[in-house]
Amino acid sequence: MQNSDPVYIGAYGNSTGDGPHPSFFFNGTIDEVRIYNRTLTYEQIKQIFFEKSEVLKLTFDGKDARDLSGYDNDGIVNEATWTSNGLVGGAYNFDGVNNNITVSDNKGLYNFSTGPFSISLWTKKNTAGSGAIIEKGARLGANDAGFAITFNNSGTYVVIANVSNRQEIDLGLNTFEWTHLVITRDDNGLISVYKNGSLYTTSNLAGSVNSSKELVIGASTYGGYLNGSVDQVRLYKYAIDGDQASQLYKEGLYGYQMSIKSSETKKGDNWNCNVTVTDNVDESTNNTGTLTILNSKPSLSNIAVSNDPLVPIACSNTTFNCTAVATDDDGFGDMSEYTATFYNSKATTSSCSEDRKNCYTVTCSNTSCSGNQCNVVCNFSYIRYWINASNSWVCNITVTDRSSDKDNINKTTTVNELQALDVVENVLDFGEINSGQQSGTKTINITNCGNVILDYNFSGEDYQCHENCGTINTIKVSNVTFSNVSTGPYINLTTQAQFMKFGTSVAYNDNMYYFVNTSYWKLFAPVGTKGKYNSTITITAIKSN
């Protein structure tokens, strides 16, 4: 959208034949006009509101208690001693005898009524006793409306009160130790207490906290003085959140280093820092330079595998999953590709091509995406039974963002050996055989259904006549002979396992899905036998040496 007309503030620009003219004038007050060349996020809008909702800002960086909030409610220093060695720049020390700072509230800025508010300050208490660090109306043990951070010999407390009820919260402060405190109350009466940037506790109290008493720092209007120090006193007319409480704490630790949250930026933003110095008469502004927000590299964490060890399934496929958490401070939408390789590190590398023996590759999916994170699921749904057995299989997940920056994470697992076979028919039926004669050759086809080269043990049972039987109903198992080649030599079957070398190979790709060996069998019918005889052969797979 382009328009060459000027921007009017407080009036409507009405274009006529000789150009735009202001009309329909506004009756009111306007302040802090800003125009941006981008869409502001919720967090950025909240930050602007945060800045303008500050109704008291006493940094104590000069030898006075000047209010830098823009409302000019400067404090009046009563005997308190300024020091340049505060936590951030200067601070005020209080001697516990007669020192305090009072702040007038002739604009009613600190009477928050039933609405939200926040208190932020740094304090260091040197001794016990009774008094207040900051106080407006409230005190321990009474329903005097207002708010206070006050203390007695038992401890230091937050007190928030209306005319009927109060909440007293023990802060657990240590002496001789700087502590940052943020006290907030929201629209629903929820009180949140933050110590050193972290949530300490919560409570509840609704109702008006308005008080006619003045705001006092370092003393209580009910008696008692602080022996200690106070720095960076701020009041807000809304409830700041945990991120902002943490930001205020960090600003105290690191000086006035501005904290920019990742949610407030996007790639390609140019941020300028303008420093303005004022003496309440004149001011000077200097641009210290431009900061360009570069791409944030994605990262992976919390990798896990679905089965360790992985156990192949005989003559079939099994599944294997790798999962991880992907994070990108540019937002989850900046992560464009998720891939994974499952590979045998003893045979190949993570850049391997899929052969389904030592290497598998897959495109992963992202689920449960929110903010700057996604769960990554890498599903290998076709792990072949001939996968190479090893304790050095690695699942390597890679995430790539739209700027082609990558990160990867890996986890090692084991693939078990599988000794397995399959036969089409292991019940040998030689049909009718004449007494005193040998049968023709029968075959049993044996398939290697595992991932190691196989030999076999054979055993059997006596043959029983089941049709047209004569006087001999049983043929001893030793009358059965077998071989791994059709031409022999043949050996006698027994009821005990008989080993025979086959060396049945392992399948190695989808074009050679099965490896099959044939065994050959014959039966001798002793004199006196008649009819049809059959029996069961037992074949056991053995890893070949």
**255-282 pLDDT per residue, tens:** 655 555 555 567 777 777 766 665 555 6
Q: Residue 345 is part of a domain; what is its CATH number?
A: 2.60.40.10
How close are the terminal C-alpha atoms of the chain, in Å? Answer: 78
SS3 state at 165:
coil
Q: How far apart are CA 474 and CA 495, in angstroms?
A: 14
> By C-alpha distance, which of 459, 374, 373, 420 is closest to 541?
420
CB atoms within 10 A of CB 395: 28
Residue 43 lies in a domain: no
Distance CA 447, CA 58 (A): 85
Q: Is the pLDDT of residue 337 over 80?
A: yes
Q: State which amino acid sits at residue 168.
A: E
392 and 521 in a single domain? The answer is no
Q: Does residue 389 sit in the same domain as residue 333? A: yes
The residues, ordered by sequence, that sit 6+ positions from 31 with a Cβ below 8 Å of its Cβ are none
Same-domain check for residues 323 and 463? no
- Residue 44, domain member (yes or no): no
| Cα 306 from Cα 429, distance rounded (Å) | 46
Domain boundary among 350, 381, 415: 415
> Is 142 part of a structural domain of the chain?
yes
Q: Same domain, yes or no, for 408 and 432? A: no
Find the domain containing 391 and state its range. 299-415
Q: Which of 236, 194, 233, 204 is nearest to 217 (CA)?
A: 233
Query: Tokens 């700072």 identify what position?
Result: 101
Does 305 lie in the same domain as 253?
Answer: no
**Model confidence at 196: pLDDT above 70:** yes
Q: What is the CATH number of the domain that holds 516?
A: 2.60.40
Instruction: Name the token pair of 16.
Output: 């006529």
Give the whole-angstrom CA distance, residue 91 versus residue 80.
10
* 179 & 157 share domain: yes
Asked if 252 and 272 sit in the same domain, the reply is no
pLDDT digits (tens, 9 = 90+) for 513-540: 788 999 999 999 888 888 787 778 899 9
* Among 199, 332, 325, 324, CA closest to 262: 332
pLDDT at 256: 55
Give a yes or no: residue 440 inside a domain: yes
Same domain as 243, residue 307: no
What CATH number is associated with residue 145? 2.60.120.200
190 within domain boundaries: yes
Whole-number average pLDDT of the chain:
88
- Whether residues 152 and 249 share a domain: the answer is yes
Is residue 243 within 8 Å of residue 198, measured between CB atoms? Answer: no
- Residues 287, 345, single domain; the answer is no
What per-residue confidence (pLDDT) applies to 32? 72
309: preceding bond cis by omega (within 30 degrees): yes
Q: Is residue 281 part of a domain?
A: yes
The residue among 362, 324, 328 whose CA lies nearest residue 342 is 362
Indicate whether 110 and 228 sit together in one domain: yes
Strands of 70-186, DSSP E = 75-78, 81-83, 91-95, 100-103, 117-125, 131-136, 146-152, 155-161, 166-170, 179-185
Q: How far apart are CA 168 and CA 203, in angstroms?
A: 9
Judge whether 37 lies within some domain: no
Query: What integer pLDDT is reported at residue 426 of this predicted model?
Result: 65
Listed residues 415, 436, 465: the one ending a domain: 415
Q: Are 137 and 145 in contact (CB under 8 A)?
A: yes
Residue listed under structure tokens 């030898």: 63
pLDDT tens per residue, range 467-486: 888 788 888 999 999 999 99
Domain boundary residue, one of 415, 434, 454: 415
> In this structure, are 352 and 216 located in the same domain?
no
CA gap 239, 185 in Å, rounded? 6
State whether the Cα torsion 326-329-332-333 is positive or negative. Answer: negative
Domain count, the chain: 5
Question: For residue 41, is it within any domain?
Answer: no
